[in-house]
Structure 1
Amino acid sequence: MSKLGNLGARLHRGEVSYDFIGHRKLWYGISILITITAIVGLAVRGLNMGIDFQGGAVFTTAKGTSVSVSEAEHAAEEAAGHEAVVQKLGDGSLRIQIAGMDTKESDKVKKALAEDFEVDSEAIAADLVGPSWGDQIAAKAWQGLAIFMVLVVIYLAIAFEWRMAIAALVALIHDITITVGIYALVGFEVTPGTVIGLLTILGYSLYDTVVVFDSLKEQTKDLTKQTRFTYSEVANRSINGTLVRSINTTVVALLPVAGLLFIGGGFLGAGTLNDISLSLFVGLAAGAYSSIFIATPLVADLKEREPQLRALKKRVLAKRAQSSGDEEFTRSHDGDAHGAEPEDAAAVVGPRAQPASRSRGRGRPSGKRR
């Protein structure tokens, strides 16, 4: 854990980093593949809409019934002639959903279930939902989603800029598409709880994105006045600086949702928790992914199309090339200073002039010559 903490601190200080922006084509490819899979699953399998959206009846037995789920499902399908969805609740009662049923049919099915379960008909509660009610819920959900998207784009365009607003909108559509596609592939029932979960994850999805955008906005002030970093490099530093924070907040948010999904819905049999917990779990994970791998790289792509930032990139690369050439020149001259022969030395022809020996004249006796 201490090593992870040290790594997080080094990431925040910029001592180490991973090139998220440089590998953006890989992230785009992965996201496109996942999105296409979700769309294909949605088109082929479709959504398992609950009776709140398509109308029908819900029958609830008394607590502690001795009838199994398979027996109740078989009895309900024989009595109604339609497919039935049976869930065992935490108190031991059964929740039987049958779509496309009116009042008269529900009364007949209720009596037939009471006979099969060997209980009084009053011990089984019946609730009817008309299809018009489901249409109203769906219309309100789409209306709320559209209003939310418009407000998000307006806010981000004012607080940051329109390119960041577009990138955040693309990330949101990415998260919703993946979540809905997972619902289609898994076959979980879509209920009003699912809609609540979808609308809830939009805020969580934007949280990490806005944190990275805020850091990027602070670090790119007066960016064109320097020649050390390009916009993409600053964007990459912003991702690395907020990476540990994004991971920590996502993990903390996913833990209780995972408890609802796997323990509450799986082990305890509280099937109604699956409606909201699956959308929250998938949406939170997709939101954390999109804020790092989709939103910020897309902003970098859009920003570096601007003329002034393209000119900045050219200046930065030119300066680095010049610095690299100066370093090569310095290293070559350092080699000469340490005894390396210059290239022109081989072209010298003829004997070299030898320096006068300091010992010349030593050892001779002093005085006049004879």
Structure 2
Amino acid sequence: MAETKKANVFTRLYVGNGAFDIVGKRKRWYVLFGLILLICIASIVFRGFNLGIDFTGGTRVQLPATSASGTISVEAAKATFEKAIGEEPTAAQTVGSGASATIQIRSETLNADQVLALKNALNDDLKPNGGTQAISDSAVSASWGGEITGKALIALLVFFVAVAIFLALYFELSMAIAALVAVVHDVLITAGIYSLVGFEVSPATVIGLLTILGFSLYDTVVVFDKVRENTRGLLGLTRRTYGEAANLAVNQTLMRSINTSLIALLPVLGLLAIGVGLLGVGTLKDLALVQLTGIAIGALSSIFIATPVAVDLKMRDARYKAQAARVQARRDNLARKAGGEAVSGGDIVESTDDESLQAELRKEKAMAAAAGVPARHGKAGDARRRPTGKKHR
């Protein structure tokens, strides 16, 4: 029984016949994602971010991770740094693997004498391959990270304005606002996760954050395009409300959204595996990590946030309120005729199966006549007949 139920769920997911009432239960999604968003915003405000050296400024020292006696550990490098400078480094990590692996040590800005003393101490204590010449240092200014952040914010603002104008012209204003709400939701939650977990924020993180905006918007546009198709001429119909038509659109594109997200996540996971497993932490890891988080959040927002918000905005229109009232009146009338039982949107769709099949047959006959191919014949009830297994003589 459980297997049959499970199979039915996946079948409905694949067929997309409106089996999942996502839009109808939108208030619970608002509460759920609202709580997550509140936690993320609180973390951003009170906890802040773990900013990398490109944003805070400082000195980066790099040395080979191998010596004549074997591999040099990060702990040994940190201990040598503390002995030479008198304080712990900001961070130390191994980058890369094998013979090309290096250890990067980051700290607050060091003067020339401190850098020279540190290099000599690292060479004397750890004896890395290549000696002192293989130990390099670089000073990073905090202004560079600030410039990257400023340009990213400008790009984000331009993106929002361009998206709002495009969607308002291509779809309508309510959908443009809903899409922007979903995109802002994605950015804040992704940033909040970085703040909560303590992932280091680097310029690659900022770049990755901008790239996920396009993916989130793409998924939302696909759903909205189906919503527009399902709601065309809806004001003159009484079969379903705007919310039900939008929910059907979400169901019809749900499998596509899931497949698209999974396909997009696979190369990102590969990038993350290469960045961490083979090359060590670094730019690839920062880029893949933010994309992995953003794509997952963007897929959820296009389903549970964008379309429900668009429906709420659309239902503020008096015309769609009146159409919803006519739909409910028709259902009440059908319920009275059926003996007082409640009639839902799904029941109305089922009650018109014969009409839909007849229309389908008429369309098929017309197409067959144009192509010169014999068309099928039959009554509406024939479509639901099942073979009995008995032989007829």
> CA offset at residue 267 of structure 1?
4.1
- For residue 84 of structure 1, the aligned residue among 79, 83, 90 is 90
Q: Which moved more, 1:181-190 or 1:4-13?
A: 4-13
Could you say which residue in structure 2 is the equivalent of 1:308? 319
Does residue 99 of the first structure (1) align with residue 108 of the second (2)? yes
Residue 73 of structure 1 contacts residue 84 of structure 1 at CA under 8 Å; is this kept in 2? no
Does residue 17 of the first structure (1) align with residue 19 of the second (2)? yes
Could you say which residue in structure 2 is the equivalent of 1:121? 132
> CA offset at residue 62 of structure 1?
2.3
Could you say which residue in structure 2 is the equivalent of 1:341? none
Residue 156 of structure 1 contacts residue 165 of structure 1 at CA under 8 Å; is this kept in 2? yes
Could you say which residue in structure 2 is the equivalent of 1:354? none
Does residue 198 of the first structure (1) align with residue 200 of the second (2)? no
1:60–1:45 distance in 2 versus 1, CA, 3 Å: same
Q: Deviations over 1:289-319 (max 9, x none)?
A: 0000000000000101100000000000011
Aligned residue-pair number? 329
> CA offset at residue 82 of structure 1?
4.9
What is the percentage of aligned positions where both structures have the same residue?
Answer: 45
Secondary structure, counterpart of 1:224 in structure 2? helix
Residue 60 of structure 1 contacts residue 96 of structure 1 at CA under 8 Å; is this kept in 2? yes
Does residue 139 of the first structure (1) align with residue 150 of the second (2)? yes
- For residue 154 of structure 1, the aligned residue among 165, 176, 179 is 165
> CA offset at residue 41 of structure 1?
2.3
In the alignment, the residues of structure 2 paired with residue 280 and residue 74 of structure 1 have an alpha-carbon distance, to the nearest angstrom, of: 35
- For residue 42 of structure 1, the aligned residue among 35, 39, 44 is 44
Could you say which residue in structure 1 is the equivalent of 2:53? 51
Could you say which residue in structure 1 is the equivalent of 2:338? 327
Does residue 112 of the first structure (1) align with residue 118 of the second (2)? no
Secondary structure, counterpart of 2:66 in structure 1? coil
Q: Could you tell me the TM-score, scaled by structure 2's length? A: 0.77
1:32–1:47 distance in 2 versus 1, CA, 3 Å: same
Residue 8 of structure 1 contacts residue 244 of structure 1 at CA under 8 Å; is this kept in 2? no
> CA offset at residue 9 of structure 1?
6.5
- For residue 75 of structure 1, the aligned residue among 64, 75, 80 is 80
In the alignment, the residues of structure 2 paired with residue 159 and residue 286 of structure 1 have an alpha-carbon distance, to the nearest angstrom, of: 25
Could you say which residue in structure 1 is the equivalent of 2:383? none
Secondary structure, counterpart of 2:24 in structure 1? coil
Residue 16 of structure 2 contacts residue 253 of structure 2 at CA under 8 Å; is this kept in 1? no
Could you say which residue in structure 2 is the equivalent of 1:346? none
> CA offset at residue 278 of structure 1?
1.4
Structural mapping, 1:182-197, within 5 Å: 182-197=193-208
In the alignment, the residues of structure 1 paired with residue 152 and residue 17 of structure 2 have an alpha-carbon distance, to the nearest angstrom, of: 46
Residue 77 of structure 1 contacts residue 84 of structure 1 at CA under 8 Å; is this kept in 2? no
> CA offset at residue 260 of structure 1?
3.2
Residue 86 of structure 1 contacts residue 94 of structure 1 at CA under 8 Å; is this kept in 2? yes
1:254–1:77 distance in 2 versus 1, CA, 3 Å: farther
> CA offset at residue 36 of structure 1?
1.5
> CA offset at residue 122 of structure 1?
1.4
Amino acid at match of 2:66: G
Could you say which residue in structure 1 is the equivalent of 2:380? none
Secondary structure, counterpart of 2:225 in structure 1? helix
In the alignment, the residues of structure 1 paired with residue 39 and residue 107 of structure 2 have an alpha-carbon distance, to the nearest angstrom, of: 30
In the alignment, the residues of structure 1 paired with residue 154 and residue 63 of structure 2 have an alpha-carbon distance, to the nearest angstrom, of: 36
> CA offset at residue 105 of structure 1?
4.1
> CA offset at residue 61 of structure 1?
1.0
Amino acid at match of 1:281: L
Residue 16 of structure 2 contacts residue 254 of structure 2 at CA under 8 Å; is this kept in 1? no
Residue 61 of structure 1 contacts residue 95 of structure 1 at CA under 8 Å; is this kept in 2? yes
1:114–1:149 distance in 2 versus 1, CA, 3 Å: farther
Amino acid at match of 2:138: D
In the alignment, the residues of structure 2 paired with residue 150 and residue 78 of structure 1 have an alpha-carbon distance, to the nearest angstrom, of: 53
Q: Deviations over 1:87-126 (max 9, x none)?
A: 2122321122223445554344333333332343211111
Residue 303 of structure 1 contacts residue 309 of structure 1 at CA under 8 Å; is this kept in 2? yes
Amino acid at match of 2:127: E
1:4–1:128 distance in 2 versus 1, CA, 3 Å: farther
Could you say which residue in structure 2 is the equivalent of 1:282? 293
> Tell me, which stretches of 5 or more residues in structure 2 are unaligned?
342-393
CA RMSD of aligned residues (A): 2.5
Does residue 250 of the first structure (1) align with residue 253 of the second (2)? no
Q: Which moved more, 1:233-242 or 1:83-92?
A: 83-92
> CA offset at residue 39 of structure 1?
1.9
In the alignment, the residues of structure 2 paired with residue 78 and residue 34 of structure 1 have an alpha-carbon distance, to the nearest angstrom, of: 44
Amino acid at match of 1:113: L
Residue 235 of structure 1 contacts residue 300 of structure 1 at CA under 8 Å; is this kept in 2? yes
Secondary structure, counterpart of 2:23 in structure 1? coil
Q: Deviations over 1:261-292 (max 9, x none)?
A: 3x335544611132111101110000000000
In the alignment, the residues of structure 1 paired with residue 140 and residue 340 of structure 2 have an alpha-carbon distance, to the nearest angstrom, of: 82
Could you say which residue in structure 2 is the equivalent of 1:235? 246
Does residue 270 of the first structure (1) align with residue 242 of the second (2)? no
1:101–1:34 distance in 2 versus 1, CA, 3 Å: farther
Amino acid at match of 2:225: D
Could you say which residue in structure 1 is the equivalent of 2:353? none
